[in-house]
Amino acid sequence: MNKLKLKIGILMLSVGFFACKKQHEHSEPAPDPNKKGSAEVYFDNFVGTQEFRLNTTYTNSTTGESFKPTMLKYFISNIQLKTANGTVYTVPQMESYFLINAEDPASKKCIINNIPEGDYSEIKFLVGIDSLRNTKPVEERTGTLDIAGAAAGMYWSWNSGYIFVKFEGESPQSTAAGNKFRYHIGGFGGYSSPTINCIRQVSIEFGNDRLKVRQGNTPSLHLIVDFLKFFNGGYQLKIADYHTVMFSPATATIAVQIANNYQNMFKYDHIHDHGH
Amino acid sequence: MKKALTFLVLLSILVNCQRNVEPEIRFQKPAHFPEPHYDFSYNPVTTAGFQLGKKLFFDGILSRDGSISCGSCHIPSSAFTQHGHDLSHGIDDKLTLRNALPIMNLAWQKEFFWDGGVFHLDLFAIAPIEADNEMDETITNVLEKLRRHPQYPQLFQKAFGTPEITLDRFLKALSQFQLMAISANSKYDQYKKGLTQLDAQELAGLQIFQQKCASCHKGELFTDNTYRNNGLPIRRFMLNGIDTIDTGRNRITLNEQDKFRFKVPTLRNVEVTRPYMHDGRFRTLEQVLEHYSQGVQDSPTLDPLLKQNGQLGIPLSQDEKDKLIAFLKTLTDEEFLRNKLFQQE
**Complex-level ipTM:** 0.87
The CA distance from A165 to B82, in Å, is 36
- Residue B249 at interface with chain A, using a CB cutoff of 8 Å: yes
The CA distance from A249 to B303, in Å, is 20
The CA distance from B41 to B46, in Å, is 12
Radius of gyration of the CA atoms of chain A, in A = 22
Q: How far is A199 from chain B (nearest CA, A)?
A: 16
Chain centroid offset of residue A274 CA:
20
Q: Give the E-state strand segments of B30-77 in sequence order.
A: none
Inter-CA distances, A259 with A135, A166, A266, Å: 21, 12, 12
Asked if residue B175 lies in contact with residue B277, where contact means CB atoms within 8 angstroms, the answer is no
Could you report the per-residue pLDDT of B227-280, keeping only the tens digit for each? 999 999 999 988 878 888 999 999 999 999 999 999 999 999 999 999 999 999
Residues 6+ apart with CB under 8 A from A261: A229, A230, A231, A232, A233, A234, A235, A237
Asked if residue A73 lies in contact with residue A155, where contact means CB atoms within 8 angstroms, the answer is no
- Residue B122 at interface with chain A, using a CB cutoff of 8 Å: yes
Q: How far is A66 from chain B (nearest CA, A)?
A: 28
What confidence score (pLDDT) does residue B87 get?
84
Q: Give the E-state strand segments of A6-130 in sequence order.
A: 36-47, 50-51, 58-60, 65-83, 88-90, 97-101, 109-116, 118-127
- pLDDT 10s per residue in chain B (345 long)? 455 545 544 444 444 545 556 789 999 999 999 999 999 999 999 999 999 999 999 999 999 999 999 999 899 888 888 877 888 888 888 888 899 999 999 999 999 999 999 999 999 999 999 999 999 999 999 999 999 999 999 999 999 999 999 999 999 999 999 999 999 999 999 999 999 999 999 999 999 999 999 999 999 999 999 999 999 999 998 887 888 899 999 999 999 999 999 999 999 999 999 999 999 999 999 999 999 999 999 999 999 999 999 999 999 999 999 999 999 999 999 999 999 999 988
Per-residue confidence at A9, pLDDT binned at 50, 70, 90?
A: very low
The CA distance from B179 to A60, in Å, is 53
Q: Give the E-state strand segments of chain B in sequence order.
A: 227-228, 236-239, 242-245, 262-263, 307-308, 311-312
Residue A188 with chain B: CB contacts under 8 Å? none
Residue B253 with chain A: CB contacts under 8 Å? 190, 193-195
Query: Mean pLDDT across chain A, nearest whole number?
Result: 91
The CA distance from B214 to B191, in Å, is 18
For residues A1-10, average pLDDT: 48
The CA distance from A93 to B75, in Å, is 42
- Percentage of residues of chain A with pLDDT beyond 70: 90
Q: Which residues of A touch B (CB under 8 A)?
A: 135, 137-139, 141, 146-149, 152, 155, 157-160, 187, 190-196, 247-249, 252
What confidence score (pLDDT) does residue B92 get?
85
The full 3-state SS of B274-319, as one line of letters, equals CCECCCCCECCHHHHHHHHHHHCCCCCCECHHHEECCEECCCCCHH
Q: How far is B112 from chain A (nearest CA, A)?
A: 9
By three-state DSSP, how is residue B196 classified?
Answer: coil
The CA distance from A237 to A217, in Å, is 42
Could you report the per-residue pLDDT of A107-131, keeping only the tens digit for each? 999 999 999 999 999 999 999 999 9
What confidence score (pLDDT) does residue A109 get?
97
What confidence score (pLDDT) does residue B71 get?
93
Residue A85: exposure state from Cβ atoms within 10 A (0-12, 13-18, ≥19): exposed
- Residue B171 at interface with chain A, using a CB cutoff of 8 Å: yes
Residues 6+ apart with CB under 8 A from B187: B196, B198, B202, B330, B331, B332
The CA distance from A198 to A256, in Å, is 6
Could you report the per-residue pLDDT of A182-195, keeping only the tens digit for each? 999 999 999 999 99
Residue A151 with chain B: CB contacts under 8 Å? none
What confidence score (pLDDT) does residue B6 get?
52
Inter-CA distances, B181 with A142, A240, B107, B175, B193, Å: 29, 50, 9, 10, 20
Asked if residue B126 lies in contact with residue B139, where contact means CB atoms within 8 angstroms, the answer is yes
Smallest Cβ–Cβ distance between B140 and the set A152, A190, A249 belongs to: A152
Sorted by where each starts, the structural domains of chain B and their CATH numbers stand as 24-183 (1.10.760.10), 187-335 (1.10.760.10)
- Give me the sign of the Cα torsion angle B103, B106, B109, B111: positive
Smallest Cβ–Cβ distance between A249 and the set B129, B171, B247 belongs to: B247
Q: How far is B309 from chain A (nearest CA, A)?
A: 29
The CA distance from A61 to B200, in Å, is 79
By three-state DSSP, how is residue A168 classified?
Answer: strand
Per-residue confidence at A4, pLDDT binned at 50, 70, 90?
A: very low
Judge: A193–B123 Cβ closer than 8 Å, yes or no.
Answer: no
**Phi and psi at residue B304, in whole multiples of 5°?**
-55, -30
Size of interface A-B (CB pairs under 8 A): 83
Could you report the per-residue pLDDT of A14-71, keeping only the tens digit for each? 444 444 443 444 467 899 989 999 999 999 999 999 999 999 999 999 999 999 999 9
Residue A195 with chain B: CB contacts under 8 Å? 252-255
The CA distance from A176 to A161, in Å, is 26
Residues 6+ apart with CB under 8 A from B62: B56, B68, B69, B70, B125, B129, B135, B137, B142
The CA distance from B119 to B101, in Å, is 15
Asked if residue B133 lies in contact with residue B91, where contact means CB atoms within 8 angstroms, the answer is yes
